[in-house]
Amino acid sequence: MTEKSASRPPLPPFTRESAIEKIRLAEDGWNSRDPEKVSLAYTEDTRWRNRAEFASSRTEAKAFLARKWAKELDYRLIKELWAFTDNRIAVRYAYEWHDEAGNWFRSYGNENWEFNEQGLMARRFACINDLPISPSERLFHWPLGRRPDDHPGLSELGL
Identify the segments of the chain with pLDDT beneath 50.
1
The contacts of residue 143 (CB under 8 Å, 6+ apart) are none
pLDDT, one tens digit per residue, over 91-104 is: 999 999 999 999 99
Q: Which of 121, 157, 115, 120 is nearest to 140 (CA)?
A: 157
| pLDDT value for 90 | 98
Distance (Å, rounded) from C-alpha 153 to C-alpha 47?
28
pTM for the full model? 0.95
Report all structural domains of the chain as residue ranges with CATH numbers, in order of start: 16-137 (3.10.450.50)
pLDDT, one tens digit per residue, over 63-74 is: 999 999 999 999
Burial of 26 (0-12, 13-18, 19+ CB in 10 A): buried
